[in-house]
Amino acid sequence: MYNFDQMPDRRDTNSIKWDVEKQELPMWIADMDFSVAPEIMQAMQDKIKLGAFGYENVPASYYDAIVNWQEKQHNCQVKKDWILFVNGVIPALSSAVRRVTHPGEQILTLTPVYDIFFHSIENNGRKSLEEELEYNAKTHKYSINWSSLEQKLADPLTKMMILCNPHNPIGKSWTYKEIEKIAQLCHEYHVYLFSDEIHGDLVLDNSFSSTLKLPDNLKQNLIVAFSPSKTFNLAALHSASMVVPNPELRFQIYRAINNDEIAEPNLLAIPATIAAYTQGNAWLKELKKYLLKNRQYIANFLETELNELNLASEFATYLAWIDISSLNINSQQLADFLKENTGLIISSGNVYRGNGTNFIRLNFACPKSVLIDGLERLKKGIDIEKS
């Protein structure tokens, strides 16, 4: 019913991704080369037609839409008054960091991880404490070293852990057991757990476990953030939500986001978010099927055409995490080389820290024809580099 084989032409439209030279193909930043669902477009057009764009409240229907979405998509019971509107997941994170931790204190992440977390930590004068995920070079899978994680959480200077759930860039959905264990450790050592669930709707084998499924006692130090921006390709909408079950912590977060002036919606945020969460399910279901096929195409391509590279990402997100260690070149050098020689622009893994320097990240949320072009450029570039 929806067409994912065509993409809007975003050159010269202020798109960060498509601000590139004619021969270049951007497959890096996490937004999708698909048109927005018509149901969401309609809601936005209706709003524009009104022609009146004064200051707005967040209406009850916004909270209802989130409660129902969380219940239907993820089987999570969220209470309406746990939800706070905010202008983005990263603004929410930075604001929470400033409110519940102090300069010089440590904030823990599992690396390699979404690089902007480090900005939220370090630009606010906090220390980034990095627990590097263990990587099995044979199975190409990551896991947590629990005793090392516990040691870091037990350090009295550690005040917050940021969990990327599911995890960008390694494309992994943490299991309920893993989430429960992390939450138990955070609870035991009085560490706030900030769970960034922005990719939660985009787990292609539906294996996502939200932290909102945790029992009440493990939700007391929990701050969750998500948004329709990845799911429905609405990053410039600047509409996100935080869920904070503990009322005292919620009040602190409420003060923080208001103090930072990031708690008021722009003119399209509310109608588009409500449309996404109330009418977007059919589009999302088709999108996930399309993405799953693209992911499979990459896996087959690497196996048959580029077998020195390995797909390390699992079924979460539309970002392929590709192990390039056998090439003996660091990821930044390879990214620069590919751009220079083939026009392909991918993310170099070193920015995500941990063992990221042995990986590249490739965004496969695009029509299949574009993906094929990208993979052929990748092969060509690697062939030239090796010759």
Ligand X SMILES: Cc1ncc(COP(=O)(O)O)c(C=O)c1O
- CA 24/CA 273 separation, integer angstroms: 32
Rounded CA-CA distance 196/187 in Å is: 18
Q: Phi/psi at 51 (nearest 5 deg)? A: 70, 20
List strand residue ranges (DSSP E) for 219-335, in order. 222-226, 240-243, 310-311, 319-323
Q: How far is the CB of 5 from ligand X (least distance, A)?
A: 24
Q: Which stretch binds ligand X (CB under 6 A): 7-15, 57-65, 82-90, 143-151?
A: 82-90
211 binds ligand X (CB under 6 A): no
Contact 179, 211 (CB under 8 A): yes
Angle at 113 between CA 339 and CA 70, to 5 degrees: 115
Asked if residue 249 binds ligand X (CB under 6 A), the reply is: no
* Nearest in space to 93 (alpha carbons), one of 71, 114, 72: 114
Q: What is the DSSP letter of 119?
A: H
Cβ closest to ligand X, residue 129 vs residue 164: 164
The pairing of strands 158-164 and 106-111 is parallel
Angstrom distance (rounded) from CA 242 to CA 92:
7
Of 323, 328, 300, 326, give the one whose Cα is nearest residue 313: 323
Q: Which range binds ligand X by CB under 6 A, 87-95, 241-249, 325-333, 363-371?
A: 87-95
| CA distances, 265 to each of 17, 154, 243, 345 (Å) | 25, 38, 17, 33
Does residue 227 bind ligand X (CB under 6 A)? yes
Is residue 248 within 8 A of residue 267, CB to CB? The reply is no
Which residue type occupies 242? M
- Smallest distance, ligand X to C-beta of residue 164, A: 5
Which listed range, 83-91, 126-134, 173-181, 273-281, lies at the site for ligand X (CB under 6 A)?
83-91
CB of residue 106 to ligand X, shortest distance in Å: 20
Residue (89 or 170) nearer to ligand X, CB: 89
Q: Which of 40, 191, 240, 263 binds ligand X (CB under 6 A)?
A: 240
Binding region for ligand X (CB under 6 A) out of 38-46, 86-94, 274-282, 343-351: 86-94
Task: List the one residue from 4, 85, 114, 318 that touches ligand X (CB under 6 A).
Answer: 114
Residue 273 interacting with ligand X (CB under 6 A):
no
Applying CB under 6 A, the span of 88-96, 136-144, 305-313, 323-331 interacting with ligand X comes to 88-96
What Cα–Cα distance (Å) separates residue 179 from each residue in 214, 222, 242, 307, 381?
8, 12, 18, 33, 39
Q: Does 88 bind ligand X (CB under 6 A)?
A: yes
Q: Does 105 bind ligand X (CB under 6 A)?
A: no
Q: Which member of 229, 273, 342, 350 binds ligand X (CB under 6 A)?
A: 229
Q: Of the candidates 235, 322, 360, 378, which one interacts with ligand X according to CB under 6 A?
A: 235
For the record, the structure tokens of 291 come out as 């993405």
Binder to ligand X among 25, 30, 183, 203 (CB under 6 A)? Answer: 30
Nearer to ligand X, 238 or 293 (CB): 238
Determine the interface stretch with ligand X among 84-92, 125-133, 149-157, 336-344 (rule: CB under 6 A).
84-92
Cβ(221)–Cβ(185) under 8 Å? no
Rg of the chain, C-alpha, whole Å: 21
Does 164 engage in binding with ligand X (CB under 6 A)? yes
* Residue 89 binds ligand X (CB under 6 A): yes
Contact positions vs ligand X (CB under 6 A): 30, 88-90, 114, 164, 168, 196, 198, 227, 229, 235, 240
